[in-house]
Amino acid sequence: MQAVAETLFDLVYLITVITIGILMIRGSKGARQFRLFGWMAVVLGAGDSFHLVPRVIALCTTGLENCTVPLGFGKLVTSVTMTVFYVLLYYVWRQRYHISGRGGLTAAVYVLAGVRIALCMMPQNQWLTAAAPLSWGVYRNIPFALLGLLVIVLFYRSGKKHGDRAFRWIWLTIVLSFGFYIPVVLWADAIPMIGMLMIPKTCAYVWTVLIGYFAMKQECK
């Protein structure tokens, strides 16, 4: 039952975000913010597929315990692409609210993203083993959480300042995604059921993508 339900959920998710991303890239009509949003959705779906596709195959065949290496490699790829996702989202913010300058802010985004990716690449993560250390899961997610917090604050303040109804909930989708993700990082190994929080976390990302898509349909007529 888990294999069927999770397979359907994962495939619908991947197909949905990648399809919406392609539609946004093709339908942005020169609006750079929506083209960036489209690439952001494609990066999200393509990156997650490195983890979710092996997971689906494992669930439907020999089981997760026999697919440690491809699952671990997929987690590594997803960790990197999720970082790129937030960098692109930062540039969506700059485009939507016509932000110029702010070099220090951009530098902070790149520093946090760079540190996150560098930490993900460290061999101490033991991605390809079944006993990846919790400590490194925490280390690599500290700059990631700070990057997410920065983007949350930027969208919240700008959306409120400009009365941007189309993007008014972007900040909340990010809050929810991190709210569901952090307990998984901290406690999923000890309490496997906590891993179920990845479902609402994934739904929060779909909400993010849909916000961008519906805004494009409204503004790029």
Q: Contact, 95 vs 32, CB < 8 A?
A: yes
Could you tell me how far CA 208 lies from the centroid of its own chain? 10
User: Could you give the CA distance from residue 76 to residue 91 in angstroms, rounded to a whole number?
Assistant: 24
Which residue is associated with the tokens 């110029």?
100
* pTM of the shown model: 0.93
The amino acid at 2: Q
Can you read off the two tokens belonging to residue 138? 């925490």
The CA angle 188-11-170, to the nearest 5 degrees, is 70
DSSP state of 132: -
In the predicted model, what is the mean pLDDT of residues 23-41?
Answer: 92
CATH 1.20.1070 fits domain 2-219: yes
SS3 114: helix
Cβ atoms of 71 and 55 closer than 8 Å = yes
User: For the chain, what are the domain ranges?
Assistant: 2-219
pLDDT tens digits, one per residue of 42-100: 999 999 999 999 888 887 887 777 788 888 899 999 999 999 999 999 999 999 999 99
